Amino acid sequence: MKILSSGEYYGNKNSELRHDGITLSKYSYTGIQTDWHYHENPYFMYVLQGNMKDCNKKATTLCPTGSLMFNNWQETHYGSKHSTNAAGFHLEFETSWLQKHDITFTVLEGSKLVQHPEVHFLFAKLYRELSMMDNYSELTIQSILIQICDSLKTEQSVESKKRPEWVDGLKELLHFDENTLSLEYLSQQLGVHPVHISRAASKYLNASLGEYIRQCKLKAAIPLLIQSNYSLTEIAYQSGFSDQSHFNRVFKSHFNMTPKAYRGRLKTKL
């Protein structure tokens, strides 16, 4: 069984930054399928381009563009590529960094597809900082890493609550919003009182209903901004926004910059 050391992944390395127990890297995935292996350190893979599958002894997880996958160091797995081109951005933690910041990844065991939009936003900010790398980037990166760990702990706390079965149905309805959703409509579809849905949203979604919908749309827009040549208007519509102006307002509220400014700060070498 092959053990991949710090910063080592299958494929071609395009860029890498190592600092104080953290490795950030971008790889192009070349082979159709890797060997069975596991990693020396826990890491996250954000799929920048293409369709991937992560396979372990328990499950096979589809990871299309925009997916965020966590793999712990003890997890034996292999990866396969299901598109012509594929690329990923990795964040890897060494034990020394985790100990220094008193962080444990028992909050995430084995392999896990990270769904919560807020964590995706933090990875988008991390990728942007790695791309621009000025005198303040290292300090900003360290801050973002702490925020990522804190957000994962919050997500785990939310998931550990005994939630009703209808919450998964609620998430599915919100993900496929066509701008016609209302509490009355959700109530009819789920068979749950509208007031109960409204009160439960912040508890199980960690956001209001409207905010969660906006977050899901931004989550869909991020990989299009990073890798595609779509215009901002095309990205707005593909992500479910009513127009580019609405897209700009929501994006700026989360990133403190417009989508155009975010895209402009990404360098081609990354």
Asked whether the beta carbons of 91 and 226 are under 8 A apart, the reply is no
Q: What pLDDT is recorded for position 171?
A: 82
pLDDT, tens only, 206-226: 788 888 888 888 998 999 998
pLDDT, tens only, 14-45: 989 888 889 999 999 999 999 999 999 999 99
Phi then psi for residue 136, to 5 deg, are -105, 0
Task: Kindly list the distances between the CA atom of residue 234 and the CA atoms of 85, 123, 225, 255, in Å, as whole numbers in the listed order.
Answer: 22, 23, 10, 20
Question: What is the distance between the alpha carbons of residues 117 and 58, in angstroms, rounded to a whole number?
Answer: 25
* pLDDT score of 156 more than 70: no
CA atoms within 13 A on the CB side of 63: 30
CA atoms within 13 A on the CB side of 149: 19
Residue 32 has a CB neighbour count (10 Å cut-off) of 9
Q: How confident is the model at residue 176 (pLDDT cuts 50, 70, 90)?
A: low
- By DSSP bridging, strand 52-56 and strand 60-63 are antiparallel
Helix (H/G/I), strand (E/B), else coil: 99: helix
Question: What is the distance between the alpha carbons of residues 241 and 239, in angstroms, rounded to a whole number?
Answer: 6
Question: What is the distance between the alpha carbons of residues 197 and 171, in angstroms, rounded to a whole number?
Answer: 11
DSSP state of 165: T
CB-based contacts of 9, cutoff 8 Å, min separation 6: 25, 27, 88, 90
* pLDDT score of 268 more than 50: no
Per DSSP, helices labelled H in the chain are 95-100, 117-132, 137-160, 166-175, 183-190, 194-205, 209-227, 232-238, 244-255, 259-264
Residue entry with tokens 């910059």? 257
pLDDT, tens only, 77-132: 999 999 999 999 999 988 888 888 777 766 566 688 888 888 899 999 898 888 87
CB-based contacts of 202, cutoff 8 Å, min separation 6: 208
Instruction: Give all domains of the chain, ordered by start, each with its CATH number.
Output: 2-160 (2.60.120.10), 166-264 (1.10.10.60)
Question: pTM surpassing 0.85?
Answer: no
pLDDT, tens only, 188-203: 999 999 888 888 877 8
* pLDDT score of 270 more than 50: no
CB-based contacts of 57, cutoff 8 Å, min separation 6: 76
